[in-house]
Each structure stands twice: as C-alpha cells, then as structure tokens.
C-alpha cells in the first residue's frame, strides 16, 4: 500500500488499547497483517497460508471491520420495507451477514456480499479469516456478542455506520 493509504488506516490503532488491556502483564508480539482488496482466489490462498497459525494455540487473531455504511454520503441505501424503519432494515441486513459469518463458510459470505453489496469495510480480512478457519485443523466457532448503529436512520436524509463484535473460540 502507498503511504497515504497506510496513514489513513486506523484499525490497528482501534484495537491496540483493547489488546493492551487483555494481555496486560504478558509479553506479546504483534504481527499486523493489513488486507486490502483481494480476489476471491487470493482470499482463499492467504487463508490456506495462514491456517497453520490458527492451529498454534499461542496465536491470537484480531480482525477489524465495521459493518453497513448506510446513507447517501456512503452511496449505499439498501432498504427492505418488510423490516419496518430503515434502521431495522439495516440491522436485518447486517445480521444476515453476521449469521453467515458464524457458519464459517467463506463462500456463503462471498455470495451474501455479491447479492447485497453491504458496505462492510473489512470484508476481505473477514473472508481471509473464514478461509483460515476452513483450512486449519482446529475446530473454531464464531459467535457475535454485540451489535450497534451510530444512529437510527428513519429517513433517506439520515446516515449511519454499523458495528458488531464477535469472538472465535475452539470447540475443544
């Protein structure tokens, strides 16, 4: 990536305070891996290459993404009226993606993104991680813990960004 992209990237800065709290008192090495726009084939390839690190219990992965960026300023205004107000439609769209991520199926996640074009910034790192889980020998499950929106959109003039947090755990 070029310098301007690197300087604009903030996911690591968002995660470091949480990681510092969780690992306080323990020596850790952090290896940041920034994932840009990748083809499906490269997502799968990197997932296979990194899968062996999932099998090492000394490793911890933190994958950063927000979810739907909704509104005219984001050029994304998917709205399914059957869910009621706009913010409920956004939540239904995000939860559909979250449910698919919880299955661990990278191909289903790719189909979801192709069908709905949800503006999940970290779709490529999420896909790489799902391929890692698919290719490793350790059985891992993902569960979403919390979901929020920056605001509740009620009109086409509104905008919001969605946030979700999940944890992956071994099924041992």
Indicate whether 172 pLDDT > 70.
no
Q: Does domain 37-170 have CATH number 3.40.50.1370?
A: no
Indicate whether 113 pLDDT > 90.
yes
* Confidence label for 166 from pLDDT (cuts 50, 70 and 90): very high
* Confidence label for 3 from pLDDT (cuts 50, 70 and 90): confident
Indicate whether 42 pLDDT > 80.
yes
pLDDT at residue number 36: 81
Q: What is the pLDDT of residues 46-70, one digit of tens each?
A: 999 999 999 998 888 888 888 999 9
Of the candidate ranges 7-21, 82-96, 140-154, the one whose mean pLDDT is the lowest: 7-21
C-alpha R_g of the chain: 17
**Measured between alpha carbons, how far is 8 from 16 in angstroms, rounded to an integer?**
16
Instruction: Using alpha carbons, list the distances in angstroms from residue 7 to 1, 11, 32, 67, 137.
Output: 10, 11, 14, 21, 36
**Domains of the chain: which residue ranges?**
37-170
pTM of the predicted model, to two decimals? 0.90
């Amino acid at each position: 990536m070029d310098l301007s992209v690197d300087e604009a990237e903030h996911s690591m800065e968002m995660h470091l305070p949480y990681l510092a709290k969780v690992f306080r008192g323990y020596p850790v090495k952090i290896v940041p891996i920034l994932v840009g726009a990748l083809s499906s084939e490269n997502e799968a390839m990197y997932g296979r290459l990194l899968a062996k690190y999932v099998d090492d219990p000394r490793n911890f992965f933190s994958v950063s993404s927000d979810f739907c960026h909704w509104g005219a300023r984001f050029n994304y205004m998917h709205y399914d009226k059957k869910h009621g107000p706009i913010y409920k439609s956004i939540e239904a769209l995000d939860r559909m993606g979250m449910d698919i991520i919880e299955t661990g199926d990278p191909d289903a996640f790719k189909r979801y993104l192709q069908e709905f074009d949800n503006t999940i910034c970290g779709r490529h790192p999420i896909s790489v991680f799902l391929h890692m889980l698919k290719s490793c020998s350790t059985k891992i499950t993902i569960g979403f813990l919390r979901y929020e929106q920056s605001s509740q959109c009620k009109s086409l003039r509104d905008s919001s960004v969605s946030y979700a947090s999940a944890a992956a755990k071994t099924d041992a």
